[in-house]
Structure 1
Amino acid sequence: MAEDSVNDGYEPPAPLPRKVPPSRLEIIRTVLRNPLELWGDPSYTLPWIETRFFGRTTIIVNDPALIRHVLVDNAGNYPMDVVRQLVLRPILRDGLLTAEGDVWKRSRKAMAPVFTPRHARGFARQMLEKSEEFAARYISADIHGSTHDISTDMTELTYQILSETLFSGELASESGDVAGDVDALLHRMGRIDPLDMLAAPTWLPRLTRIGGQRVLEKFRKLVRDTMERRRAAIARDPATAPRDFLTLLLEIEGPDGLTTEEIEDNILTFIGAGHETTARALGWTLYCIAHLPEYRQKMEAEIDEVIASGADPVTWADRMPHVRAAFEEALRLYPPAPSINRRALEDDRFVAADGKVLDIRKGATILIMPWTLHRHKLHWDRPRVFDPARFLPENRERIGRFQYLPFGVGPRVCIGATFALQEAVIALAVLMHRFRFTPKAGPRPWPVQKLTVQPAGGLPMLVTPRDRS
């Protein structure tokens, strides 16, 4: 381990590997309660496991070369899995996360210009302004500190950044409780139902999602209202309408671009998933780093120096390696998207470097799980320990491209990865420059898989002003 690493480290809360395989009933109960608690020792120690779930062959993949084979080299043979689509499509329909074929290609091509690294860097100043505005909330609180649910707070902050950067501040929630609305949507709609596990037809009602449709329609109304306001602004004067993500999508609406429904689906995708993933990782970063005071002090010194220099926020991600490393380590232990699900269209064969052969049969489900991959004993030293030093520049090159997948990989790699990383560093820097975040006494937060890895019960932390004298 590098000299800059933390000697003892900190092992944040997470399920221990199962020692005994679960029964079929236990599988159902665990998947409904928290799929992260399902996996046993083999998932954290073997390169792959072939098993049977509900009559279907399932291959759990933790071998980087096999991951590359499935997601890059032979990606055409591995579309998204049926169960995954049964969970996500009712929410996102033909949004970028769930669309396939020509619809996905058209959407990806249409949105790519907004999320190029060069374009994403242009959002840095807006990210800084919204982070500073959010920090003012803490400043106005009790000077001796106050308790906040950091999980909820980070959801609100990233929503504000999303609204300002991609929608020019016009994405306003009527209720004002964005975090609560998002949580309700994911809790009701973003769960695996037993009928999904059986690949039952979509017309059969999912009892676990009763009540979720109301929240979903609330979000869709928000999207439609936002689209209508922007259409009106463009009609009045195209030259003065904001040149942002929303305008770009509306400009390609039509028979040769995206349909009105596809635009709505993609906007909802960014509302429901785009900011939620970054928010969860920010919350876990602040929680974990609070348990490593020596490393936290390095972050604070780095932040104070860069901010005092007046450096443009577009450079912060490069000039704050300790901050960036802490966020990347939080993404490793708490990947916002904990599983990547594919299915084999045709028979396939993979030959590992050691000569072992895996025959993949047509119809097999392929589970590539960042949750287990990022904690796998074959790929990581002290895999359960939070140690940001492994992501510092001098150590980063040791991490293989296919052993660390917080944003996925291959043709469907997350389009907003650069945006999210820049946003996270700026937000962390602004908040940690002014405040200390200390976990409250009581039960430790427990990671639960919904659409993202969320802390059950939130992340209650004491927020106190820093003494920088």
Structure 2
Amino acid sequence: MRVSKTIYRVSDLCTKGIIMDATPLPFEAPAPIPRTTPPSRMEIIRTVMRNPLELWGEPSFTLPWIMTRFINERSLIVNDPGLVRHVLVDNAANYRMGTIRQLILRPILRDGLLTAEGETWRRSRKAMAPVFTPRHSRGFAEQMLSRSRAFVARYETSGPGEGQTDDRVHDVARDMTELTFEILSETLFSGEVAGRESEFAQDVDRLLSTMGSVDPLDLLKAPRWVPRLRRLMGRRVLAKFRGIVKQTIESRERGMRDHPDTVPEDFLTLLLRQRGPDGLSIEEIEDNIITFIGAGHETTARALAWTLYCLANSPLDLAEVEEEVDRVTASEADPVHWLEKMPWTRAVFEEAMRLYPPAPSINRAAIKPDRWEGPDGRSVDIPEGTTILIMPWTLHRHKMLWDRPRHFVPSRFLPENRGRIDRFQYLPFGVGPRICIGATFALQEAVIALAVLLGRYRFECVPETRPWPVQKLTTQPQGGLPMRVTRR
């Protein structure tokens, strides 16, 4: 592996195991140590409320599946790729959304694409599919590039020292939330999302820490009408989000009515054209916009922030990415081709999503009894009503499936190595009929944003950079990600 330049000071590294005369060891990304003793019922409730990622025990990272029971509910934890395929693809019609998942998400997203089921989901998916085809997503590349360039210019100082970074410590987690919101607003809503961008990251954090957290009443499957105290605290910010959506829709509808020849043909216009008795209701349109504003960009933002953090601790991988970014951007001006021509940049992003999956859990429930028979003679009987837990958090770190599962090793995702990864052991965007509709969009956005960010700047850890992954719908760094941003 070639290192083209000196890219770090030993005193500034926040990794361990660096030896001056040897190749650094792969970075072990911070994460809870798997439990070795089963938790009590009360401990389960307390841990799930605090951080569900701290609940998982050693068997969840070593066994292909575990049948367990909690409060008289049978649950199946799935880590075998064949069984994952059976539940999410081969017999997906037998598995509905998990009850606890819906109790958490539906108050926020209602009938958005992530939470809708049945005919409502099918109509919404059909309406939005044209916007997110690979061909259409490539059409957003220039907008992604221009918004990324405009955003990173904020890291520059002004005045006599213009052209130098201010060397301040930035919360990179918040920065990436703002960047991805601006890209989303520009590409899907033509920059017409109402509200102030400067407040957006703070509002997202408040929404997810209140409305997006597990409540004990969810674990007990109490009816939706029973108030959840923490969610009551998030009603104001949720109302603010819904107000933003309503203003955005009303503004676009006026444009479609008064200036039909100049209205942008973007995601918002497409959805509004689907309104009608045979299409989407105005409530469903609002729910899907909320889904993309409040959740669609959030997953990419978290993955970008974790990528910058892991690279700050992986100097050799950073050198590879910097060399690739410099070479490709110098020879290929069109960002449409960057995703294909930057395999290292894509690999570091995908490895960060393996270690810190933006959506760390996929929950289903069996509608009818089922049975899976594996190719090696193993089988699992799944009774009606069984909760199925397919956890990218455990699946992506499973010792049965990955070499050095707790370490940042992006080379595993290079094109020559991808064939060793089973399609159903890596699920950053899910799989099957409900696979993330914006997967291609997100990958292209991430590579373009990283190329701009890493083409100009280095992101370095400081003593306060001690992130701890917590699950609040997405996998977030508790306390943010303070990092020093310096000009390369």
- TM-score by length of structure 1 reads 0.97
Letter in 1 for 2:369: D
Moved more, 352-361 or 232-241: 352-361
Residues 120-160 of structure 1 show CA distances to partners (whole Å, capped at 9, x for unaligned) of 00000000000000010002376351110000000000000
SS where residue 52 of structure 1 aligns?
Answer: strand
| Mapped partners of 1:413, 1:144: distance in 2 | 41
Residue type of the alignment partner of 2:408: F
Any idea what SS the aligned residue of 1:131 has? helix
RMSD: 1.3
1:298 aligns with 2:320: yes
Cα distance per residue 1:319-355 (max 9 Å; x no partner)? 1111000000001000000000000001111112221
Given the alignment, which residue of 374, 379, 383 partners 1:361?
383
1:72 to 1:308, Cα distance in 2 relative to 1, 3 A: same
Aligned partner of 2:17 in structure 1 is none
Tell me the amino acid that sits aligned with residue 249 of structure 1. L
Give distance in 2, aligned partners of 1:382 and 1:7. Answer: 15
Aligned residues: 464
> 1:307 aligned to 2:329?
yes
- What's 1:16 paired with? 33
Does 1:248 find its partner at 2:270? yes
What is aligned with 1:405? Answer: 427
Give the percent of matched residue pairs that are identical in Structure 1 and Structure 2. Answer: 66
| Structure 1 residue aligned with 2:211 | 189
Return closer, same or farther for 1:212/1:430 CA change in 2, 3 Å cut-off. same
Distance (whole Å) between structure 2 residues aligned to residue 163 and residue 182 of structure 1: 15
Separation in 2, partners of 1:65, 1:456: 34
1:330 alignment partner AA: A
2:48 aligned with 1:31, yes or no? yes
Question: 1:383, CA displacement in angstroms?
Answer: 0.3
Q: Which runs of 5 or more residues in structure 1 are unaligned? A: none
CA–CA distance in 1 between the matches of 2:198 and 2:152? 18
SS in 2 for 1:397: helix
User: What's 1:454 paired with?
Assistant: 476
The match for 1:42 among 36, 44, 59 is 59
- Residue type of the partner of 1:78? Y
Deviations 1:248-290 (A, max 9, x none): 0001101010000000000000001010000000000000011
Quote the Cα distance in structure 1 between the aligned partners of 2:226 and 2:249: 32
| Structure 2 SS opposite 1:177 | helix
Structure 1 distance, partners of 2:2, 2:79, is: 29
Displacement, 1:3?
11
1: CA distance, partners of 2:464 / 2:245:
39
Q: Deviations over 1:153-206 (max 9, x none)?
A: 000000000000000000132473110001111111001111111111111000
Partner-residue secondary structure (3-state), 2:422: coil
Residue 80 (structure 2) aligned to one of 63, 69, 77: 63
Is 1:225 paired with 2:225?
Answer: no
* Code of the aligned partner of 1:298: E
Alignment of 1:270-309 (within 5 A): 270-309=292-331
Matched with 2:130 is 113
Supply the AA of the counterpart residue of 2:127: A
Match of 1:51 among 68, 80, 88: 68
Match of 1:76 among 93, 117, 136: 93
Q: Which one of the candidate residues 152, 174, 189 is aligned to 2:174? A: 152
Correspondence list, 1:294-443, <5 A: 294-442=316-464
Q: Distance in 1 between matches of 2:380 and 2:69?
A: 15
For normalisation by structure 2, the TM-score amounts to: 0.93
Which structure 2 residues correspond to residues 110-189 of structure 1 after superposition, within 5 A?
110-140=127-157, 143=165, 145-174=167-196, 176-189=198-211
Distance 1:38 1:27 in 2: 7
Distance 2:384 2:251 in 1: 48
Which residue pairs with 1:257 in the alignment? 279
Describe the superposition over 1:214-236 as per-residue Cα deviations: whole angstroms up to 9, x where unpaired: 11010000000000000000001
Residue type of the alignment partner of 1:128: L
Deviation at 1:310, TM superposition (A): 3.7
SS at match of 1:132: helix
Q: Distance in 2 between matches of 1:211 and 1:258?
A: 31
Could you tell me how far apart the structure 2 residues matched to 1:3 and 1:206 are?
A: 55
1:214/1:271 CA distance change after superposition, 3 Å: same
Q: Distance in 2 between matches of 1:311 and 1:221?
A: 39
Q: Find runs of 4+ consecutive structure 1 residues off by over 6 angstroms.
A: none
Report the alpha carbon displacement of residue 207 of structure 1 after superposing the two structures with TM: 1.2
Q: Relative to structure 2, which stretch is displaced further, 141-150 or 125-134?
A: 141-150
**Distance in structure 2 (CA, Å) of the matches to 1:44 and 1:3:** 34
One-letter identity of the residue aligned with 1:127: M
